Chains A and B, each alone.
Chain A
Amino acid sequence: GAGVSQSPSNKVTEKGKDVELRCDPISGHTALYWYRQSLGQGLEFLIYFQGNSAPDKSGLPSDRFSAERTGGSVSTLTIQRTQQEDSAVYLCASSLFLGAKWSTGELFFGEGSRLTVL
């Protein structure tokens, strides 16, 4: 399909294990965002990519969280030594970059990866 694809859709893991979440953005979208959505909460910004670079990592909650993007396309969010408080839906979104960091085109979201840490 032509939309943003995320995998896995559901992941159940044990406390202390590492997890990788994948995002395949819309072709041609240079901007890519990761967000986290906990129950009853809004979307918490994690990291922004422009191409393969991440000029804004300000939302990553701890050094257990990291992300990379390769080929200006697929991105992977890695959570090391998972904790129960990491349980949430992790959403990826892509958009065209409109030339200024404050200028936002439409963000196209994937359906998210639901992470449950037991």
Chain B
Amino acid sequence: TQLLEQSPQFLSIQEGENLTVYCNSSSVFSSLQWYRQEPGEGPVLLVTVVTGGEVKKLKRLTFQFGDARKDSSLHITAAQPGDTGLYLCAGHYSNSGYALNFGKGTSLLVTP
């Protein structure tokens, strides 16, 4: 069973700070996605990365896919309270079935 590990598990910061969360696996991803989930709701897609070394930016969020396609990071610049939520990475493995495998997530709290 492939395992996606996310770190840190919890993060509490003040508005305006920068942060980075990580997603790691021992296996190569065919593709990787980041989702954000708010309480009582389903996850919502933030980004999909496919190519090793790829960097994508979404306003204050920067996503990076490792060269070997085994890891990814999400960097948030000048965090805002609206960024609060559970950040989940999810990946497909080339030797797995149809399942999109999710990590346990990083729970982020941004206080004013």
Answer yes or no: do A and B interact: yes
Interface centre among A42, A58, A93 (most CB of B within 10 A): A42
Contact B42 A102 (CB under 8 A): no
Interface size class of A (residues with CB under 8 A): 20 to 34
A32-60: which residues lie under 8 A (CB-CB) from chain B? 33, 35, 40-45, 48, 50, 55-56, 58-59
Nearest residue (CB) in B for A91 is B42
Contact A104 B92 (CB under 8 A): yes
Contact B41 A111 (CB under 8 A): yes
Interface size class of B (residues with CB under 8 A): 20 to 34
Contact B104 A41 (CB under 8 A): yes
Contact B42 A101 (CB under 8 A): no
Q: Which of A43, A48, A56, A103 contacts B31 (CB 8 A)?
A: A103
Whether B94 sits at the interface, judged by CB under 8 Å, is: yes
Contact A42 B42 (CB under 8 A): no
Contact A101 B98 (CB under 8 A): yes
Contact B100 A42 (CB under 8 A): no
Whether A4 sits at the interface, judged by CB under 8 Å, is: yes
A100: min CB distance to chain B, Å: 9
Contact B94 A4 (CB under 8 A): no
Nearest residue (CB) in A for B103 is A42
Whether B62 sits at the interface, judged by CB under 8 Å, is: no
Contact B42 A93 (CB under 8 A): yes
Whether A106 sits at the interface, judged by CB under 8 Å, is: yes
Closest 9 CB pairs of A and B: A109-B42, A43-B102, A42-B104, A102-B30, A56-B97, A45-B99, A48-B98, A56-B98, A42-B102
A→B interface (CB under 8 Å): 4, 31, 33, 35, 40-45, 48, 50, 55-56, 58-59, 91, 93, 101-104, 106-112
Other A-B pairs beyond A40-B104, A42-B103, 14, CB < 8 Å? A4-B42, A42-B4, A55-B98, A56-B97, A101-B97, A101-B98, A102-B92, A103-B30, A104-B31, A106-B33, A107-B35, A107-B45, A109-B41, A109-B44
